[in-house]
Structure 1
């Protein structure tokens, strides 16, 4: 299993950030070694989510200091999954990769908000897990040009290949922490616990309410009304609407760093 050079550079930073002894200077050097990552780190630091003082950041060192390791780890994850699709030539496959990223971004924003307000798991971990939850699909799309007809397979078989075979191997290769891998691998056919309280619950709910569905899975059923949803037992309709709006605002505020 081979990754693009830019992904390998991001992985070096990912592994460094996972080390509790990682010094801030080492992280800054690794960010500066990848120009695209440096630019996106500055963009993230200047987004509404991190620039409450309205004071612009103009360099990577200050950007890393402002956003912190957790946000930087999420940014690296976003860069990794985007880079898998950077070399796709076929327009139809590129469109699928773009839709998959839009789906991923919305699930990530929803996961972060749901973690803060419903499941009370670590919001940064929830966002990181959500960005990585379709990484197997991104990897397969990046290789689809080499295997004509791969996307014409039965959707259910394709989904199973993504989730149960490729995702597992890619997540291991990317050194994704075991608790996050376990939650992602448990998504297929998962049931939500009551009350929702785990990382897996967070991912299931975020996928359920994402306004953009994954192009690599069967078309979604009509979004359940609040009365038919498991959230009806946890949240009132007004709070749910607030969560959906907050997550939409989160996607917009971080678009400069994660969606371009």
Structure 2
């Protein structure tokens, strides 16, 4: 079977891409440095999943980290959860939010520690990656809040991890900056390995199966499956929203033409509400972004 000129060109380009070759070989040998879930998030997830735990016991674990405690209280008083009275303590915040939701929120708060680098060039790319991921996370939370059947906190975490597979690639480049011959090497490596590496990370972190679907399908624009709308659909639409004003939107698919949007529309999301989400929920999105930062 003959290969097309495009396929041959891609294969030739990858053969010259030392970053890709290094990452691919390390991944195949299970030697690529994968990020570990931040210690505080691990301890809190373990406490929440303890069958004998109650809010007071879990609150004691959460309060080991005052910064996370303060942010949890802030989100309990945010528009996503705001009740009739102001929450002022960690146990009260856990009661209002719920333990499973708190688990996703706290993991989200701790995620920023994963996006670190030493060399200026890679640090800038890691910062940009976090900014994009947290923006998609905020939009995902707001969209999920408006569509029945979705958990805004799980949607926020899904938005944060949709590009987590890029982190080990940047970490590898951070250690060996000399192997990147040109900027296209990094773009090419991310495009080819982002999904496979991301899945390895989620399995290492013991995340649910539907988070894997998010990584696989976050940019699979014309994915058309028979199931109900899912978090991959939420993150995909949120990504398109996040690109507005940042890239040539004419090069991206139109939201109302995507199967994901049609599925979400069946849950009550209209095209006007979707397109206007950045304006209508601007303050809400910004609050979530600030809490994540």
C-alpha distance after superposition, 1:195-251 (max 9, x if no partner): 97222222222222224799xxx9976455566566489465432234333453332
Tell me which of 111, 117, 132 is aligned to 1:81.
111
Mapped contact 2:138–2:288 kept (Cα < 8 A): no
Q: Matched residues in 1 for 2:243 and 2:148: separation?
A: 20
Give 2:102's aligned residue. 72
Given the alignment of the two structures, is residue 168 of structure 1 paired with residue 202 of structure 2, yes or no?
no
Give 2:40's aligned residue. 9
Give 1:203's aligned residue. 235
Residue-pair matches, total:
252
| Alpha carbons of structure 1 residues 150 and 159: separation in structure 2 relative to 1, 3 Å | farther
Structure 1, unaligned runs of 5 or more: none
Q: What's the secondary structure of 1:135's corresponding residue? A: coil
| Alpha carbons of structure 1 residues 232 and 38: separation in structure 2 relative to 1, 3 Å | closer
| CA apart distance, 1:100 | 1.6
Q: Summarize the alignment of residues 28-47 of structure 1 with structure 2, pairs less than 5 Å apart.
A: 28-47=59-78
Give 1:136's aligned residue. 165
Structure 2, unaligned runs of 5 or more: 1-32
Q: Summarize the alignment of residues 1-260 of structure 1 with structure 2, pairs less than 5 Å apart.
A: 1=33, 3=35, 7-19=38-50, 22-53=53-84, 55=86, 57=88, 59-86=89-116, 88-117=117-146, 120-149=149-178, 152=183, 153-164=185-196, 166-189=197-220, 191-193=222-224, 197-211=229-243, 222-224=251-253, 231=261, 234=265, 236-259=270-293
Q: Matched residues in 1 for 2:213 and 2:236: separation?
A: 13
Q: Which has the higher contact order (CA 8 A, sep 6+)?
A: 1
| Alpha carbons of structure 1 residues 186 and 237: separation in structure 2 relative to 1, 3 Å | closer
Q: Root-mean-square deviation (CA), in Å? A: 3.6
C-alpha distance after superposition, 1:10-44 (max 9, x if no partner): 12212333456542233212212234322322332
When Rg is computed on C-alpha atoms for both structures, the one with the higher figure is 2
Question: Structure 1-normalised TM-score?
Answer: 0.76
C-alpha distance after superposition, 1:117-161 (max 9, x if no partner): 457444333222222212222344345422224664241322322
Question: Structure 2-normalised TM-score?
Answer: 0.69
